Amino acid sequence: MSALSARPARTWPRSAKSRPRPAWSPRLRRRLAADAALLVVAAAFLLPLAWLVLASIDSDATLRVSAPGAPTMENFSAVWTDEITFTPMLNSLLLCGGATVLTVACAALAAYPLSRFRSRIVRPYLLTVLFTTCLPITAIMVPVYGLFVQVDLVDTMYGTALFLAASQLPFAIWLMKNFMDGVPVILEEAAWTDGASWLQSLTRVILPLMGPGITVVMIYSFIMMWGNFFVPFMLLLSPEQLPASVSIFTFFGNYGQVVYGQLAAFSILYSTPVLLLYVLISRRLGGGFALGGAVKG
């Protein structure tokens, strides 16, 4: 046998990719920890929703999450009345709907000069507007209530809608200004060349192109007003004018007694308009600005 055939074959070191990884690598542990954290967060959201659905069909509902022995619709029948559901829901729609329209209109008019004109006071003004959103509503309700008494706006739907719109206006201006910055100025200049005024260019050029932005501002403002309890509770006194966010307080009886089944049924009905609003206009949230080649040519 020759010396070459007797020499052992050379073995090359195995690359890092071909080496077997340990069963519990650091990457796998980090992934499992992230999945566990997400499951905990999901459970924190799903458990209240599960209680809401199960308690609404349970005549003997408690704070425990448990399946009802005999599912029933008695809770929905008990709250499906004009006094408990229909009148408060109609008041909420009128109050929040009117305040949302007013908020979007004022935010568009205020965001236009902030987006189109360059000035030294724009940034300080925006920071001041942002600071007003940090003020808690409870800190200003006492002077607001005194002002409403002086101008005779207490217990009026339009006065409450005005204050709700004013409370949501600062953040709506910020959102509207950011969306308006995405519309090219050249489109507005073309409208000016054709003889359009700044109001016509705003309503016929800018606002149609920023439909998703207006939708976001509208949904955010409506949801924040829809769930507002403190402002209508302080400014509205007549029971027939109270919105659903305040009438839900009637399910909490004296001495800590709560009708949990009816409360859950009313809560499902109370959240239905917001869900329907999101479903109806969710398609407009998926796309960006519909510029569609308007700057070509």
**Distance in angstroms (rounded) separating the CA atoms of residues 179 and 48:** 35
Residue 6 clears pLDDT 90, i.e. is over it: no
Report the predicted TM-score, pTM, of the whole model to 2 decimal places.
0.77
For 14-73, how does the pLDDT look when each residue is reduced to its tens digit (9 = 90+)? 554 555 555 567 888 888 888 899 999 988 888 888 888 898 888 888 888 888 888 888
Q: Calculate the average pLDDT of the chain.
A: 81
Lowest average pLDDT, out of 4-8, 53-57, 170-174, 216-220, goes to 4-8
The region of weakest confidence among 150-159, 174-183, 275-284 is 275-284
Which residues have CB under 8 Å from 58's CB, separation 6+? 66, 68, 69, 71, 72, 75, 261
- For residue 98, pLDDT beyond 80: yes
**pLDDT for position 71:** 84
